[in-house]
Structure 1
Amino acid sequence: MQMKMEDRVLKTIGDYNLISKGDTIIIGASGGPDSQFLIYILEKLRKDLGFEMVLAHLNHLHRKEAANDENLVKSTAEKLGLDFYSRSRSMDDLAKKLKISPEDAGRRLRYEFFNDLAKTYPASKIAVAHNKNDQAETVLMRIIRGTGLDGLRAMDYKTANIIRPILDIKKSQILAYLDEEKIPYAIDYTNFENEYTRNKLRLDIIPRLEEINPSVIDSIFKLSDLARDDFTILDRLVDEKIKEMVKISQGKVIFDKEKFENMDPALLRRVLRKAIGLLQGEIKDISKENLDDFLKIRDLDNGKTLIKDKLVLKKTYKTYILEELTAKEKSKTELELGAEDEIKFDGIYLKTSIINNGKYNKDRNVGYFDYDKLDFPLKVRTRRPGDRFVPLGHQSEKKLKDFFIDQKIDREKRDELPLILSKDKIIWLASLRISDEFKVTARSKKILKIEVYYEN
């Protein structure tokens, strides 16, 4: 006998401990079929489980029909006797401002609103209406972009204060239930446009996959479940290794040097990734390539440092130390660069080589300098108050601050630009301007070539 829909959701809530007695559940209510389904299902369970519900609707100001969606959610709240909250923010304006996709902008605005509302309730959780089809689409998107085991997990039933009670229910089942119960819902017609990546998967790719395997949604969902199980086992192993080799003190993650150097790279990458999460509270924008770059420090001399954004990994005689730098601390950080060397400084690769004459590459990411005027090792750092240099074509020093203003360099870029120095003198604002003091002349016998590569 087939389980009733509300019993299926009740089982999911119990299996994953999604709702407790006394909770206030803030439902992200778009007015679409998924959120309407979630509202009505939870309403049927509310009294027995002893929780309260409120509806929260964000108007993205993206479609002409948006006001109708908001009115539908409001009328649903009135019909069920639930509190209703709304906010209007333009996802298109935010996307343009932050140079991100409208989808990403919309997601940020929604969760900002939901979390602001959650602060007003002492025991609150945010319920979102992601379903089995959404999960399959997320897994496919991550496979296409390149992912590992972590990414195959896709969405969890519970992430911090966010719960997904209908994650294992297919879209077709949701629509059938709504029709049977005569529950109204809005249709977002942008879901039928091929403009966005997810919609391309939904409308083009998945239907083709269903021609091969009609149960492809279920199969991909099972893949995410299996990945979650495997990740849980692996995560326990990583936690054990963290306990064995890591000490956290004064905002620093300190690794046992012997264990760090003898660990298998695949496991060490996961330990390092977990350590970054412990340090920053989240793991964001850390790729396998970033972790591989950090692991190269094992082959470097004691005292060496590797930097990625605000993260710095240092090698000492007894330990490896991972810490997060403030902007002020970061500006004080220096790396050394030899005459025939290659280093990475905050996502930027710097490579040096010696040439005797030459065909000069006019690429702005390549600089040429009179070798005999330089003192090695060179230093690489970001700007500091009082920095000055002699721009190419000038005869006297100029304040770096004034040079940036004259060149109309954005403030954010000024703090990221790597400076290369010989002793205390700037020889190059990498990729921007070399110093006249160290330029190649007809009398130059030996030339240092410095190349800059930016991380993708």
Structure 2
Amino acid sequence: MVNIEKKELIIASFENKVAAFAQKHGTVPPDSKVLVACSGGPDSMALLHWLMATKGEGTEAALAIGVACVDHSLRVESKAELAMVAHYAKAHDLPFYPLTIDAVAAEQSGESVETTGRRLRYEFFRSICQAEGYDYIATAHHENDQAETILAHLIRGSGTAGLTGMQVIADDLWRPFLGVTKEEILAYVKALVLPFAHDKTNDEPIYMRNRLRLEVLPLLKEFNPNIVATLARLGEHMGQDEAFLTAEAKRKFNELCIVCTKKESGTPYIELKRNEVAALPDALFYRLWRYVFGLFDIKNTFSGAHVAELRQVVKGKKRKQFMCSQVKVAAQYDIIQIGRLVAFDLKMTQYRIRELRALTWAGPAVEPMPLKNGENLLIPRRLAAKGPEIRQRKAGDRIVLTRRDGRIWGHKKLKDWLIDRKVPTEERDALWFVCGDKVVFSKVQPKTTTIVWDEQTSEYWACSIEEEK
């Protein structure tokens, strides 16, 4: 009887703590459709049970719940773990979406296996959301994960934004367990006698996060036994400061900004009042420019080095310029001009590949062109094993050189190719290219047919490249 009462107390205490955290930090709207990212570990199994018991069908929240599980093929046990989650979902009549990937084989240049796995995992989750109409992806990140995240960002030299850690709700992600610890989750799982798997690689110091959890945090606990809660609280305080300063920077932007249009091209650009920008304190100066660059949909990290350069441009007595990706900043007299706005929302055109198909072709001297109606790209499969990729340029890229009939006759550094064509420096990072495994085939030109003919093969990819609407 004592054990039963103790278990009931553990369960009630845990669920009350999660509810109190949600009341303070927010939760998803009632009747939302939520996809649970479930690995089969104790954290995600606890999340799945908690959602069904307190937020699922028949509750006030009335969430529609689905379950997604990814087997990364990194451990022999992973197949059985996916089967366990599938069985649990079926037993509770929940939609189940499995995926098996080979994270090692899918690893891209410069990516760790861990990063590759995460990228593929979230691509899968979001594809389900789009296809099945889910509003949120629920993950089981908890207070210990938050502490590790903030500590990792601190070690990397992050600013205030990085020290805020993970948010409870960030776009389509929902993390309702950020207010409870790993120990509390384990106690909850054991009290409920939930099935779960244990990933032994979590106990090995093979990744940075593992080393922080297994080596660094235990050492810090010797100085502060409550270090996990302390770091989580730091993130909360940083979040409050960051929200205020970001809002103030936006207010300053609206106060100091004038939107203009070039007469000759009709292209909009921004002007800022130079003296007022120069007088901003560092905290607002940095955030103002981070906001400006964010308007251009820049994915590059906006660094302290960029801020230092911008300070020099703004303070300089002579005309100076600063360029980063597709943003050009020029300071002259009492104004700062920020250019290369394509449309006022400043988003770059995106492209997609449609209806990729494999075919054989002996070349223009033997057979007619094999492209079907609507197709505008033909490339050799031996240079793009998995098909063409549309991306922007990278350091070291080389482009194939072709004759009029498309036959490859050589290669050239992409940088030199762009220089030969007199493409302005500030525009090069905004261009999209059709690429293979180790080569660039051409600049993306949806209205032009691109043929790359390789005399060493008869196996080709054909497809159409379209501008995303």
* TM-score for both structures, normalised by structure 2: 0.67
8 Å Cα contact 2:314/2:336 also seen in 1? no
Contact 1:24 1:121 in 2 (8 A): no
1:151 has 2:168 as partner: no
Cα separation, 2, equivalents of 1:252 and 1:79: 58
Per-residue CA distance 1:307-349 (angstroms, 9 max, x = gap): 12333212245532334589xxxxxxxxxxxxxxxxxxxxxxx
1:264 to 281, 305, 325: 281
Residues 273 and 88 of structure 1, relative CA distance in 2, 3 Å threshold: same
Q: Distance in 1 between matches of 2:259 and 2:91?
A: 53
Q: Which residue of the partner structure matches residue 306 of structure 2?
A: 290
CA contact (8 A) 1:6 1:44 kept: no
Number of the residue aligned with 1:217: 228
Map residues 169-184 of structure 1 onto 2, 5 A cutoff: 169-184=180-195
Matching residue's letter, 1:268: F
Measure, in 2, the Cα distance between the counterparts of 1:165 and 1:63: 28
The question of whether the paired residues in 2 share the 8 Å contact of 1:253 and 1:279 is answered with no
- SS across alignment from 2:137: strand
CA distance in 2 between partners of 1:136 and 1:153 (Å): 10
Gap regions ≥5 residues in structure 2: 1-8, 261-266, 343-394, 396-408, 425-469
Count of matched residue pairs:
343
Q: 36, 44, 47: which is aligned to 1:35?
A: 44
Offset from partner CA, 1:1-27 (integer Å, 9 cap, x none): 986322322333343332112210011
Question: Which residue identity lines up with residue 210 of structure 1 in the other structure?
Answer: K
- Cα separation, 2, equivalents of 1:55 and 1:192: 26
Q: For 1:98, what is the secondary structure of its paired residue?
A: coil
Distance 1:294 1:168, change over 3 A: same
Rate the CA distance shift 1:203–1:412 in 2: closer, same or farther, 3 A. farther
Aligned to 2:461: none
Amino acid at match of 2:257: V
Give distance in 1, aligned partners of 2:277 and 2:182: 47
Amino acid at match of 1:297: V
Q: Deviations over 1:274-317 (max 9, x none)?
A: 1211221x664111112222232124466542112333212245
Equivalent in 239, 257, 267 of residue 246 of structure 1: 257
Distance of aligned partners of 1:63 and 1:235 in 2 relative to their CA distance in 1, 3 Å threshold: same
Query: Where does residue 135 of structure 1 map in the other structure?
Result: 146
- Does residue 314 (structure 1) correspond to residue 330 (structure 2)? The answer is yes
Q: Which has the higher contact order (CA 8 A, sep 6+)?
A: 2
RMSD across aligned C-alpha pairs, in angstroms?
3.1
Aligned with 1:70 (options 60, 77, 82): 82
Structure 2 vs 1, CA of residues 412 and 93 (structure 1 numbering), >3 Å: closer, same or farther?
farther
2:248 and 2:284 in contact (8 A); partners too: no
Matched-pair contact (CA < 8 Å) for 1:273–1:283: no
Matching residue within 207, 211, 220 for 1:200: 211
Match of 1:226 among 218, 227, 237: 237
Q: TM-score, normalised by structure 1?
A: 0.68
2:284 partner amino acid: L
Counterparts in 2 of 1:414 and 1:214: CA distance versus 1, 3 Å: farther
Which of 94, 104, 108 is matched with 2:119 structurally? 108
Specify the alignment match of 1:57 in structure 2.
Answer: 69
Partner of 1:372: none
The answer to whether the 8 A contact 1:279-1:323 is kept is no
Q: Check conservation: 1:312, 1:325, Cα contact below 8 A.
A: no
Unaligned runs of 5+ in 1: 327-381, 383-404, 422-456
1:141 alignment partner, SS class: helix
Kindly indicate whether the alpha-carbon contact (under 8 Å) linking 1:13 and 1:19 is maintained by their aligned counterparts in 2. no
Match for residue 92 of structure 1?
104
User: CA separation in 2, counterparts of 1:418 and 1:269?
Assistant: 35
**Whole-angstrom CA distance in 2 between matches of 1:200 and 1:414:** 45
Pick which of 31-40 and 235-244 moved more.
235-244
Identity among equivalent positions (%) equals 26
In the alignment, the residues of structure 1 paired with residue 188 and residue 268 of structure 2 have an alpha-carbon distance, to the nearest angstrom, of: 51
- Listed one character per residue, the Cα deviations across residues 135-170 of structure 1 (whole Å, up to 9, x for unaligned) are 000111111111221111011111111110001110
Letter in 1 for 2:90: E
The alignment partner of 1:167 has SS state of: coil
CA distance in 2, matches of 1:159, 1:215: 27
Match of 1:11 in 2: 20
Q: Cα gap change, 1:296/1:6 in structure 2, threshold over 3 Å: closer, same or farther? A: same
Q: Deviations over 1:5-51 (max 9, x none)?
A: 22322333343332112210011111111111110001112132111
Q: How has the CA–CA distance of structure 1 residues 276 and 42 changed in structure 2, closer, same or farther, with 3 Å as cutoff?
A: same
Q: 1:251, 1:131 → 2: CA distance? A: 45
Q: Cα–Cα, structure 1 residues 411 and 284, in superposed 2: closer, same or farther, change >3 Å? A: closer
